[in-house]
Chains A and B, each alone.
Chain A
Amino acid sequence: MDCERIKALLLSYMDDETDDDERKLVEVHLSGCAECTAEMEALAVTGSRLRQAYETVAAGVSPSPAVWQTIQDRVAARQAIGESDADRVGSRWGWLFGWRHPVWRTAMAGAAMLSFMIVFAINSAPVSMWTAAEQQAIDIATNDPAVLALLDGQGVVYEVIPVNGDSDAELYQVVFMSSHEAASRNFGGYTGLEINTDSVSGEFNYSDGADVPLCFDALSTQSNAIVDVSNKAVVEYGNYSVEVEADCLTAEQVQDAVQIAKTDSRIGDGARVINVALLNNYNSEQGEFTDEMVIWVRLSIDGDTYFAQVDLDEQRVVKIVDGGE
């Protein structure tokens, strides 16, 4: 019996998770093998240290007292949505898609290659993309002379990421995507960051949208500002270059998706299209996002937001989920 096979069984053996045959095999081998006996002792030490580390680390953390109230508020809101719209959309899985921001996938190809694969068309009406604190971070960043100089009149806020970790500081990373000529064209004339506006939605309007869709097809520079919201200050800022490949929807695909969604009997003509996006699909059974990219039409119906997943090949709405905030 070779040692490698025995070593592969040692952990199960120590955890009493082997069958009788395996146990006998290991015990016979260990009686005559110093190397595997030492390996087992080393595994025992690692396991013991790991348990100790987990106990120590876990003992030092606990959820905030406010979390129960937050959960109650959220389920109350979900219930209200479910009760008012159950007949129309009937989805109880909307919580899965309570996205405040477009969900997009960044794939690493090679060591430094970044591929950005989401583009979304934004309606000119204010879109509640950001929380109050995130909006405050945007406002602080876009009022900072150094950040403005960095952006040089170009750039679109496309993500705000909390970076405060475990600390009490309210730090946010405001990420700007510079829009060079190609991207600007796809932005339908929305070429610069609009300072001090209530949203970052710009002038683009889907219903007038000859320029749909937005498509970052060759972006090369990102600008970042780290904002301390508590102290209303930009802590850090800088540019970095990325190589980008885009996976975009064509204008025809967007128009087609909207048409399919609006002609679905569950949705109807009264729906207002907020945006169309290529997003990661969600496997509700596995409870996780998949690598499959699917088309979602985000809609506002009587003031509530819904996502309709559209299959262009089958020319149908696959499913409708409520859209959270």
Chain B
Amino acid sequence: MAKHIGLEDFEKTFQQYKDTVFKTAYLIVGNVQEAEDILQEVFVKVYEAAGTFDPQKGSMSTWMHRITVNQCISQKRKKRAVSYSSEEMEERGFELTDPSDELPEEMVIQREEVANMWQAVKSIDAKHRAVLALRYFDGLSYDEIAQTLNIPLGTVKSRLNVAIKNLRTEMLGGL
């Protein structure tokens, strides 16, 4: 039987990390509903697996980020398995407007620079988006990213280099 976390501690953990998890997920998947689904999945897992968390092996923050990124990547995989891109749908005659391609409705972003950068971020693959979000949003060190993703430090460096290079290419292409 799994050792569950107490409800009071669970709520404290949720309140402490919900924004980090949700926003990191959103920056990786680019869709509010998916990010909220991921938030749910992450905290259900936290509840179920709290007994396995070992602070000796890493911080709670690292653990949270790891679960979040894994969930983002598996979520994208599942989504890819059952869905088609808006371009594909449009090719098939649907006039789909996918709001996930837009910035959040409540935001009015007048700075074209930000909008262009966000579009560029969304054009690169999930693995590279993950390292970018962990570094440039969550502010994790390379070591922390390596622990979070369970990848070598050298891989973190190369993924960041590739991701930034791709971003710049996309930004240039958008000019």
Residue-wise, chain B 25-57 has the 8 Å CB interface mask toward A (1 for contact) of 011000111011001110111011100000000
Could you say which of A74-82, A258-266, A267-275, A310-318 contacts chain B? A74-82
Is A67 engaged at the interface, CB distance under 8 Å to the other chain? yes
Question: Which A residue sits closest to B167, measured CB to CB?
Answer: A46
Q: A60-B103, A71-B43 are in contact. Are A165 and B98 (CB under 8 A)?
A: yes
Q: Are B74 and A224 in contact (CB under 8 A)?
A: no
A158-184: CB near B (< 8 Å → 1, else 0) gives: 010111111100000100000000000
B40 partner, pick from A71, A165, A236, A288, beta carbons under 8 A: A71
Instruction: Name the distance in Å between A100's Cβ and chain B's nearest Cβ.
Output: 11
A33 touches B (CB below 8 Å): no
Cross-chain contact of A61 among B18, B22, B167 (Cβ < 8 A): B22
Contact (Cβ within 8 A) A53 B114: yes
Hey, what's the 0/1 contact readout for A29-53 against B, CB within 8 Å counting as 1? 0000000000000110011011111
Smallest CB separation, B125 vs chain A (Å): 14
Tell me which residues across on chain A come within 8 A of B18, comparing CB atoms: 63, 67-68
Is the pair B114, A57 in contact by a Cβ cutoff of 8 Å? yes
**Which DSSP category, helix, strand, loop or mixed, fits chain B's interface?**
helix
Whether, in the assembled complex, B60 has its beta carbon less than 8 Å from a beta carbon of chain A, the answer is no
List of A residues within 8 angstroms of B114 by Cβ: 49, 52-53, 56-57
Of chain B, the residue at the smallest CB distance from A66 is: B36
A220 → chain B, closest Cβ, in Å?
Answer: 14
Q: How far is the CA of A163 from the CA of B96 in the complex (A)?
A: 9
Which residue of A15, A54, A71, A173 contacts B14 across the interface (Cβ within 8 Å)?
A71
B9 on the A face (CB < 8 A): no
- Whether A287 contacts B70 by the Cβ 8 Å rule is yes
Known A54-B27, A164-B99, A238-B94; judge A287-B74 contact (CB<8 A): yes
Cβ–Cβ contact A56 & B107, under 8 A? yes
User: In the complex, are the beta carbons of B77 and A64 less than 8 A apart?
Assistant: no
Q: Taking each of A57, A162, A173, which has the highest tally of chain B beta carbons within 10 Å of its own beta carbon?
A: A57
Q: Please, how many residues of chain A have a CB less than 8 angstroms from a CB on the other chain?
A: 66
Q: Are B137 and A54 in contact (CB under 8 A)?
A: yes
Return chain B residues, CB-CB under 8 Å to A103. Answer: 78, 81
* Chain A residue, CB-CB nearest to B143: A17
Pick the contact of A17 from B91, B102, B111, B141 — CB < 8 Å? B141
Tell me whether A104 is interfacial, beta carbon within 8 Å.
yes
Provide the residues of chain A in CB contact with B41, threshold 8 Å. 95
Q: In the bound complex, what is the Cα–Cα distance between A78 and B1 (angstroms)?
A: 12
From the candidates B32, B102, B133, B141, name the one contacting A54 in the complex (CB within 8 A): B133
Cα A68 to Cα B17 in complex, Å, equals 12
> Which residues of B have CB within 8 Å of A51?
136-137
Residues of A within 8 A of B (CB): 8, 11-12, 15, 17, 42-43, 46-47, 49-64, 67-68, 70-72, 74-75, 78-79, 82-83, 86, 90, 92-93, 95, 101, 103-106, 159, 161-167, 173, 224, 226, 236, 238-240, 280, 286-289
12 CB contacts below 8 A, A to B, read A52-B117, A60-B103, A72-B7, A92-B2, A92-B48, A161-B82, A165-B32, A166-B32, A226-B94, A236-B95, A238-B94, A288-B70
* Nearest 4 pairs of A and B residues by beta carbon: A287-B70, A60-B107, A165-B99, A165-B100
